Amino acid sequence: MGDRLKNINMSICSSCGQENETQSQFCIYCGNPILKRGKINFKRHYLLLGLIGLILIVSILFFMIEVFNNKFIARVNGEGITRKDFLKRTNQAKKFYESRYGQNIFRGKVGKENMNRLKKSILDEMVTEKILLQEAKKQAIH
pTM of the model: 0.51
Same domain, residue pair 34 and 75: no
| pLDDT, tens digit, 9 for 90 and up, residues 49-98 | 999 999 999 999 988 877 666 688 888 998 899 888 999 999 999 999 99
Q: Give the Å distances, CA to CA, from 40 to 35, 47, 65.
A: 7, 13, 39
Distances (CA, A) of 70 to 42, 86, 93, 121: 42, 10, 20, 20
Domain that holds residue 23: 2-39
Domains: count for the chain: 2
Same domain, 81 and 128: yes
Residue 52 lies in a domain: no
Instruction: Provide the 8-state DSSP code for 104.
Output: G
